[in-house]
Chain A
Amino acid sequence: MDERQELVNVKAVCRRFSLDDGQVRHVGHSFVNALDHISLRIAPREFLAISGPSGSGKSTLLNLIGCIDKPSEGSIHVDGVDTSTLQPAAMSALRRERIGFVFQTFNLIPVFTAEENVEYPLLIQKIGARERRRRVAEALDGVGLSARAHSRPDLLSGGERQRVAVARAIVHRPALVLADEPTANLDTKNATQLIALMRDLNLRLGLTFIFSTHDARLLEHTPRIVRLCDGQIESDTHPEGGSNG
């Protein structure tokens, strides 16, 4: 893959977690390797699943790509920026402007309506009210929830909540949408619909989606699947065009 075409470039990344006092120690194995020298390149407009059993390092990898954690070794470039050298404020700005997040437990702000939740990423970017209204309406329409715009999260079903979360993740037109186990709290029907929605947004809007899952049924229509096991890439499969793994 040409580096100029890369959206994400993970270079020999390790992430170690201490088992005791938070300090990483290399002697005596008082740490665990969540990720072990992982390298991965992701192009714009890709729709990529990170798969693997629990504890394989899926969430850790997404956290590192999403700039909410820093690697113990190696480097990660997102949209041409070396995130390992960024100061916290710059990391925050990168997340705010270039990355959208979808979480396993939806993580909507409970006191905001669906519309206000979707509006939030635009608020923190200080985008004007008129433009916010337009983009929020567009995003909610895109996920088919215009009719529930004024409902609070506790009045929405699990599937609806996660669609609101997707609308929130795409409303500021990020370069990259990261979804950590987005279907884990959904039934099969809603899970399939959500993946279909994400794929539709990927194709229609050209958004890059990276999501983690360990549900094999959801991977059937995923063009690229990266399988992790014990913090290492077991395979990097393109079901439609071969394997990199």
Chain B
Amino acid sequence: MGKFLLLAFRNVFRNRRRTLMTLLMVGGGVAGLLLVGGFFAFMFRGLRESTINNGLGHLQIFTAEHFNRDEVRVLDTGIDNWRQVAATVKTGGHVRGVAPRIEFYGMLSNGVKSSVFMGSAVDPEAETSLGFSTRLANGRNLSSKPGDEVEALIGAGVARSMNVKVGDGLTLLAVTSDGALNGIDIQVVGIVRTGIKEMDDRYLRITLPSAQRLLQSDRVTNLVVGLDNTENTDMVAAELAPQLSGLPQKMVLKKWIDLAAYYNQVHTLFSAIFIFLGVIVFFMVLMSSVNTLLMAMFERTREIGTMLAMGTPRIWIVALFMVEATLTGILGAIVGVVGGNLLGALLNASDLHMPPPPGGTVDLPFRVLHQPSLMIGASILVVVSLALASILPAIRASRLEIAEALAHV
């Protein structure tokens, strides 16, 4: 077995120029996948963290009934003893903080015109401590210790349609827990541009006490949990689940990935693009390797004839070609992994930036993440591709007529 592998290994290097070209081609494919995949991974990570830090948090706690709620009387299904739940969650490891929220709906009016809003009520201090940020286009954030006025942030689209600016007043109307219509006056302290027009046209944010006064309930709709590291999400979720199950209200724990619809859409789209690239690399390596291996087989016709004449089992010839191709694939993968990582490090060091995405105004930094799983995946892809590419030449070699092969010039 050792000598057989030695023969295969030496055969890989018998035509060095051709082997070099094959290794460069295979390595180029692997390096390309690592660079593209590494950049995508960087984008995913950036999008993930910005999604979490824009207020989604790592985990969210809802009551089980929340998902069957009446969208008018949202606090009917809210968390009753949310302070106790938050305190319980805070005792867990890796938890940085818990922010209570009320997600609610209602009408905004400037006295002349009314508009529907999607509101969220927050504890500004808790939000700030978790690093959740709002993209203010104008004005300031909500104050954690407001005066008599009810402060509000509104979306840029709301401000435009209601014809208000920072400092102006509006009236909020919403249905209370009892089913009555209640209203409060608010003062716009900031205008937010989320980057999504549909959001900007409905966005409203007030403080938690203001919303509880409007909705006349002490409940909250959800608790947002911030962790020290996104990688700990699964572990903390597993730890929290049994603690939550012991509470009087039945709770549901959602991870950020379950709630990040936009992230999931982007991830799915770019993953499909990456798989498409992988398929192209796979077939590129496959087709060009078939040609190279057929040439190698043709050149070695007499040698194969000699081996067969000496009684080498035909399956050994098949195995020899497949092992040679697999070794070439492994070497090509090593070249690609080393080259791809070096190139990635070089690109990272060069501080390149991509043009802003549609609708964006800031250049995207071009960074390539070094992903071990991607290196393993791309390597397996090209090794399998080469092994498959060798099947046809290997079978042809094993089926050579010995007398004809020995007479081959």
Contacts and interface: CB of A to CB of B under 8 A. Distances in A.
Interface in B275-310: 302-303, 306-310
B310 A110 contact: no
Contacts of B255: none
Contact of B308 (A92, A94, A112): A92
B310 A124 contact: yes
Interface in B1-22: 3-4, 6-7, 10-11, 14
A239 B109 CA distance: 126
Interface in A145-171: 168
B140 interface: no
A30 to B, nearest CB: 19
A68 B407 CA distance: 12
A107 B303 contact: yes
Interface stretch (A41-49, A50-58, A97-105, A228-236): A97-105
A96 B403 contact: no
Nearest to A89: B313
B313 A110 contact: no
Contacts of B4: 123
Contacts of B307: 109, 120
B304 to A, nearest CB: 10
Interface residues of B, number: 22
Nearest to A111: B10
Interface in B301-328: 302-303, 306-314, 316
Contacts of A88: 314
- The interface centre, meaning the residue of A68, A69, A94, A101 with most chain B CB atoms within 10 A of its CB, is A68
Interface in A136-193: 168
B314 A124 contact: no
Contact of B311 (A63, A105, A107, A121): A121
A196 interface: no
Given A92-B308, A112-B7, A119-B3, A124 B402 contact: no
Residue of B3, B311, B403 with highest tally of chain A CB at under 10 A: B311
A96 B3 contact: no
B7 to A, nearest CB: 7
A97 B311 contact: yes
A124 B313 contact: yes
Given A103-B406, A107-B302, A92 B313 contact: yes
B310 A103 contact: no
A93 interface: yes
Contacts of A168: 310
A110 B310 CA distance: 16
A105 B4 CA distance: 23
A95 B406 CA distance: 15
A63 B406 CA distance: 10
B310 A105 contact: no
A15 B302 CA distance: 22
B403 A69 contact: yes
Interface in A76-96: 88-89, 92-96
Q: Is the interface of B mostly helix, strand, loop or mixed?
A: helix
Nearest to A93: B311
Interface residues of A, number: 28
A154 to B, nearest CB: 11
Given A101-B309, A101-B310, A107 B7 contact: no
A238 B6 CA distance: 47
Contacts of B10: 111-112
A69 B402 CA distance: 8
A93 B314 CA distance: 11
Given A107-B302, A109-B7, A116-B3, A95 B403 contact: no
A18 B308 CA distance: 23
A120 B314 CA distance: 15
Given A92-B308, A112-B7, A119-B3, A107 B313 contact: no
B406 A107 contact: yes
B11 A111 contact: yes
Given A107-B302, A107-B306, A111-B10, A68 B3 contact: no
Contacts of B14: 110-111
A71 interface: no
Interface in B329-383: none
Contacts of B306: 101, 103, 107, 109
A34 B316 CA distance: 32
Interface string B396-409: 00000011001000
Contacts of A111: 7, 10-11, 14
A93 B406 CA distance: 19
Nearest to B10: A111
A97 B314 CA distance: 16
Contacts of A63: 402-403
A120 B310 contact: yes
Max chain A CB contacts within 10 Å: which of B6, B308, B310, B403? B310
15 contacts: A63-B402, A63-B403, A69-B403, A92-B314, A95-B309, A95-B311, A97-B311, A101-B310, A105-B302, A109-B303, A110-B303, A111-B11, A116-B3, A124-B313, A168-B310
Q: Lowest 6 A-B CB distances belong to which pairs?
A: A96-B311, A111-B10, A95-B311, A107-B306, A68-B402, A69-B403
Interface of A: 63, 66, 68-69, 88-89, 92-97, 99, 101, 103, 105, 107, 109-112, 116, 119-121, 123-124, 168
Given A68-B403, A109-B307, A120-B307, 15 more contacts: A63-B402, A69-B402, A88-B314, A101-B309, A101-B310, A103-B306, A107-B303, A109-B303, A111-B11, A112-B7, A112-B10, A120-B310, A123-B4, A124-B310, A124-B316
